[in-house]
Amino acid sequence: MRGRVGGTGASRREGHPGGHGCLRLRAKILCVSANDRPTGQQTKTSATHGSAFLKACRREPVPHTPVWFMRQAGRSLPEYLKVREGIPMLDSCTMPELVAEITMQPVRRHKVDAAIYYSDIVVPLKAIGIDLDIKPGVGPVIADPIRTRADLARLRDLTPEDVSYVTEAIGLLTAELGSTPLIGFAGAPFTLASYLVEGGPSRNHEHTKALMYGDPQLWADLLDRLAEITGAFLKVQIEAGASAVQLFDSWVGALAPADYRRSVLPASAKVFEAVAPYGVPRIHFGVGTGELLGLMGEAGADVVGVDWRVPLDEAARRVGPGKALQGNLDPAVLFAPTATVEEKTQEVLDAAAGLEGHVFNLGHGVMPSMDPDALTRLVEYVHERTAR
């Protein structure tokens, strides 16, 4: 798929092969008029405020440890594969009824304590006109990588009109979710920069690091520009009704702490500062970031996500007081027998026993081949074992 993704949700659906009929056949259409949808402020201050998830994020007493899973809406669910059949990934992210249906699927099936908005971290880049596509088995691919100062001009401001389908989809979602919070999300400046500079996924990030080390001023300007775009994207989601947001820094674990502090932390902090006035919990997660946990906490999030490599009690020591933690069962454990899953889950819960606030999650995302029933059992186990 090429070209800019934008316009209203209605125009996108009408222009898509199959249109409304396609969605009616393959997804539950959420029939809520625009006038009947709650505003973001109404949602945050009423139905979701007392949820276990938001209480844990605020480090308040909870009735049970809340659970949600990164990538809970996606390829592990047969119902997802059914409604996504024949629809390219980036197209699916611009179809409000389909986004709402996919976001709701794991909430209905697993009874998780929060929904995560179905999208992709490159959606705001596509929305401002970057020529990119998500290639199956590869990931986001950028047609013309950004590597010079002249290239910065291609990163224009993101406006709410660029992503009007997000506002429409979140309106549908908050109407159906009720007291269940919706988590909005975005890619962190470093990870977005890595995709833009490399031209796609990279194992060694050689072009990214060459730019970061070789032209630090250009690098700083690039990340600052991406921080503005990311902040604007999160604001759209919060104003539409998201009760919390998570900033994903998938690739930042490739950096040493000194490089993170000098070359990444200011941009991540700018994103968190941009949404601070809304008062919603802000979560920061990266992969392979055990050595960066303290610095990630300094960036300004209320909740620091921890992958499976560092026990939560040790992570709390590294992050310091005043933050809740999220995590951190190794996703691969879910392929083991149920008794083993419960044993390893209990280890996570035991390590989290002294935390100021804890949101149970995997240490990374749900894998496509994972048994959905294993996730449902995991939610039930955590709820039962932590009921107060």
Long-range CB pairs of 139-147 (<8 Å, 24+ gap) are: 139/200, 139/201, 140/195, 140/200, 140/201, 141/199, 141/200, 142/195, 142/196, 142/198, 142/199, 142/200, 145/196, 145/197, 145/198, 145/199, 145/207, 146/196, 146/197, 146/222, 147/197, 147/207, 147/211
Tell me the β-bridge partners of 245.
184, 282
Phi first, then psi: give them for residue 305, nearest 5 degrees. Answer: -80, 140
Instruction: Please give the Cα distance from 224 to 10 (Å, whole number).
Output: 33
Rg for the chain, CA atoms, rounded: 20
- Give the active site residues: 71, 75, 84, 120, 195
Instruction: Please give the Cα distance from 159 to 262 (Å, whole number).
Output: 29
3-state helix, strand, coil in the chain (%, to 5): 55, 10, 35
Per-residue burial over 179-196, b if 16 or more Cβ lie within 10 Å, else e, is ebbbbbbbbbbbbbbbbb
Omega of the bond leading into 204 within 30 degrees of 0 (cis):
no
